[in-house]
Amino acid sequence: MKPGEVILQQLAARRPVTARVMLVVAHPDDETIGLGAQLCRFEDALLVHVTDGAPRDGHDARAYGFAAVADYAAARRAELVAALRAGEAGRVRTLTLNIPDKEAMRDLTGLSRNLVELVRAERPAVVFTHAYEGGHPDHDAAAFATHAAGRLVDQPPATIEFPLYHRRDGQLVMGQFLPLSCRNWELALDQEGIGRKRRMIDCFTTQRWLLEKFAIAAERFRLAPDYDFRRPPHPGELHYETLGWGISSADWRHTAAEALARLGLADGWCR
């Protein structure tokens, strides 16, 4: 059985995971929504945040009552620390790459190379990361860099992905995968797991308005497919294109194609 399947079976059985794992997520709180109830089971894990969760333009900082972007970023970091404690995940090590929120796509080449070095240093059996789903450009950047790093190391870890949100038929779909011919693992949470995840969510006071919209009775995973990041994750408008951020799917994919070329990965990458 492959390492990814072994770890998914351990999580499904609510057993500890002793193998070393990495988690690569875009923002503080993504780990909580994606797999918060599982974090207490990891005995040797590094949680990597690509961004600091604070957009450089300061709009979010002001909206939440912070005088400066740095203060907002610090608050989001403090929320994460509290959430890990509330989730009984104190053994999880953390690292942030401190890219401003919404800007992870600006240097996909550098982000991928940073993850290559981390994977080489950590040598995890598995890396958990976002599904490529067009919900947020930073989520897709984290997925891109994780997949690219896996192609650039001699002993690639398995990649397990989780869904957050995407657009389908003009509606926002939360916590469900885009349909692909992959086995999906749905881990129903017991009352203890639900309570633990709820306590974690409650720690993210600045984001509670969004996080409380997610159903928390189950967490979903699958072994990640081989995406072609030069193609859109699904037909039609992507969710982040509806948010007025000035980031289009075409722009994101052009940046991804350039990064693949710079990384020497343009040939033979298929979905």
Strands 218-223 and 185-188 turn out to be antiparallel
What pLDDT, in 10s, does the model give residues 41-76?
Answer: 999 999 999 999 999 999 999 999 999 999 999 999
Question: What are the C-alpha distances in Å from 62 to residues 1, 19, 66, 69, 208?
Answer: 50, 42, 5, 8, 17
CA distance 182 to 268: 21
Give the start-end residues of each E strand in 110-226.
126-130, 158-162, 165-168, 171-174, 185-188, 218-223
Give this prediction's pTM. Answer: 0.97
For residue 271, the model assigns a pLDDT of: 40
Superfamily holding 3-262: LmbE-like (3.40.50.10320)
What pLDDT, in 10s, does the model give residues 233-257?
Answer: 999 999 999 999 999 999 999 999 9
Q: Do 143 and 252 meet the contact criterion of CB atoms below 8 Å apart?
A: no
Q: What percent of the chain clears pLDDT 90, i.e. is strictly above it?
A: 94
